[in-house]
Amino acid sequence: MNKISRFFCYVVLILIAFISLFPFYFMFVSGTNSNEQILSIPPKLTPGTELAENFGILIGKMDLFHSILNTLIISIVYTLFAVLLFSAAGYALAKFEFRGKKLIYGFIMGTMMIPSLVMYVPLFEMMIRFNLTDTYASVILPLLANAFGIFLMRQNMLGFPSALLEAGRIDGVGELGLFFRIVLPNEKPAISALVIYMFTSMWNNFMWPLIVLQSENKYTLPIALAMLDGNPTNKNYAVIMLATAIATLPILIIFMLFQKQFVAGVMGGAVKE
C-alpha cells in the first residue's frame, strides 16, 4: 500500500473512532456542566465546574448507592450462574454425540427468533405464582434462558482438542472432573467473552427488571436512570448525563480489564463452523 492510501486509511479510522467515542465524551463532560450549558447553542463541550452540584441533585433524586449495589449483585450472580450453566451446556453440545442433541440445540437456537417482549406477561404471572416478585431471583432466573450464551460457548468448545479429553478418560478422570478440571481451565478466553457478554447484558437490562422489581430500594441503575428521565417537566439533562456516566463507567472499566480475552473469546465463537 502506498503512502497516500495509508494516510487515507488512518484518516478514516480516526474519524470512525472519533464518532464512536464522542458520545461518551459528551456524556462525561455534560455531567460537569449545567443544564443551561448543555442546551445552549452550541452546547458546552469542555469540562465545567458543576459536577459537585449535579451530584448533589442526583443523590437527592435517586438512591445511587442502592441502585449500584443492586445492579452489581444481580449482574455478578447472574454471570456466575450463566458461566456454569452455559459452559456445561456448550461443552455437552460440542463434544458429545447423544440422542436428541440436534433437537435440543435447534430448539435453543430457535428461541432467538422469538421476541422477548411477548414472553414478559407469562413470565410475570409465573413470578407471582412462585412468590418471587421484587426479589433478585426474579430478575436473574428467567434471563438465564439465553440462547446466545450457549451458542457462544458451544462454538468455542467445538475446537477443544478431543485428544485431551480422551487422555483424561484413560487416566480415570470422571466426566464431571473432565469438565471442571480440564475443559473449564482451558477455555478462559471463551469464559471471559461470556462473562463480559452476560455481565453487560444484565447490567444494562431495563425492561424485565422494571417489570419485576417493585420497591425503590431494589431498583437497578437503568430503572433509576429511566425514572430520572421519566418526568416530562423540569428535566435536568446535566443530572441525567451524570447519572448515565456513572452507570456506564463500571462497564467501561470491566471491558478495559478483560478486553484481550474477550476479543479472543468472541473470535473463537465466531470462527468455527
Cβ proximity of 91 and 179 under 8 Å: yes
Is residue 163 a contact point for another protein (CB under 8 A)? no
In the chain, alpha helices (H): 3-30, 35-39, 51-61, 64-95, 101-110, 120-129, 136-143, 147-158, 162-170, 175-177, 184-186, 188-204, 207-212, 221-230, 237-271
Report the nearest approach of another protein to the CB of residue 53 (Å): 19
Could you say which of 60, 163, 170, 172 contacts another protein (CB under 8 A)? 172
- Of 155, 158, 246, 244, residue with least CA distance to 197: 155
Let me know: does 187 contact 262? Beta carbons within 8 Å: no
Residues in contact with another protein, shown as a per-residue x/- string from 51 to 90 under the rule CB under 8 A:
----------------------------------xx-xx-
Q: Pick the binder of another protein from 167, 206, 253, 257 (CB under 8 A).
A: 206
The residue range among 47-55, 72-80, 184-192, 238-246 that interacts with another protein, by the rule CB under 8 A, is 238-246
Cβ 58 to another protein shortest distance, Å: 14
Name residues contacting another protein, limited to 98-157 (CB under 8 A).
Answer: 98, 100-101, 103-104, 107-108, 110-126, 128, 133-134, 141-145, 150
Instruction: Say how far apart CA 59 and CA 239 lie, in whole Å.
Output: 10
Min separation Cβ 159 and another protein, Å:
11
Report if residue 96 touches another protein, rule: CB under 8 A: yes
Shortest Å, Cβ 84 to another protein = 8
Q: What is the DSSP letter of 50?
A: -
The region of 47-55, 72-80, 184-192, 255-263 touching another protein under the rule CB under 8 A is: 255-263
- Using CB under 8 A as the binding rule, whether residue 46 contacts another protein is answered as no
CB of 119 to another protein, least distance (A): 4
Question: Any idea what the Cα angle at residue 201 is, between residues 28 and 21, rounded to 5°?
Answer: 30
Which residue of 47, 65, 231, 257 would you call a contact of another protein, by CB under 8 A?
Answer: 231
Answer yes or no whether residue 29 interacts with another protein by CB under 8 A. no
| 6 contacts another protein (rule: CB under 8 A) | yes
Region binding another protein by CB under 8 A among candidate stretches 39-47, 49-57, 72-80, 184-192: 39-47
**Shortest reach from residue 200's CB to another protein, in Å:** 5
What letter does residue 205 receive in the DSSP assignment?
A: -
The type of residue at 120 is: Y
Minimum CB distance to another protein, residue 195 (Å): 12
Tell whether omega for the bond before 42 is within 30 degrees of 0, i.e. cis. Answer: yes
Residues in the chain, how many?
273
Neighbours of 129 (CB within 10 A): 9
Residue 261 near residue 193 (C-beta atoms within 8 A): yes
